[in-house]
Structure 1
């Protein structure tokens, strides 16, 4: 049960003061326990909360993402790697849904296609930031632009 003399507003201000204030302010007793006979020579600035926050002016940019390339127009190694990874997974899912046993040679071929495609895709990842121009702030390489 809470004491009747403390209000929710006082408790909230005390919590905000303790979390956002200095270390000296955090060591002081809570506002409800403070002696009210202290001198008022040091006025306390009103606390600002989340409702007092104002958004900065939004900067509107005319960014239009480039048109994506067609999948088939990419590097043949990349396309073949994706076909190996996705195709083998699709074959295994269809075999499981249809309850059809895969012959040993198809199981081995799809497993090798999956592992080979995944390894190839991993090796195609960029190793350094060399693909990015370090002096161009608008060049994000192939990554996301926020």
Structure 2
């Protein structure tokens, strides 16, 4: 450690710092806007600087649409097979086949928070009993839905089925 905190420990650090400052001053706002007529302070030859038009870090303006190397193909290079075109999803099950207790629990789990929000916005002086009842309906409905979840998983089930 040196006794004077102002002096750098290594004299080369000062040179590196001055070089960095000179390069940053050289790159002013004019170079960001594409001005190419300025000269470099280190030499007398003008330097070609890329403007905004040449800025394309993601290769968006690539001319060729097909990849040159099939290993590096992207999502737009995918073409669906003929089997995929004939796929028709199955009809969803009717709501009349749902157990009434589960349907009621879903209404309570989704409806109670909505009712509490509406009461907070439109019915500011709602009775405490109504608020407690909505909170209890929500807790009981969510508890029932969790209770009805399957306890064990089938070993041959890969989870791909909805």
TM-score, with structure 1 as normaliser: 0.48
> Max radius of gyration: which structure?
2
TM-score (norm 2): 0.44
Structure with more contact order per residue of length (Cα contacts < 8 Å, sep ≥ 6): 1
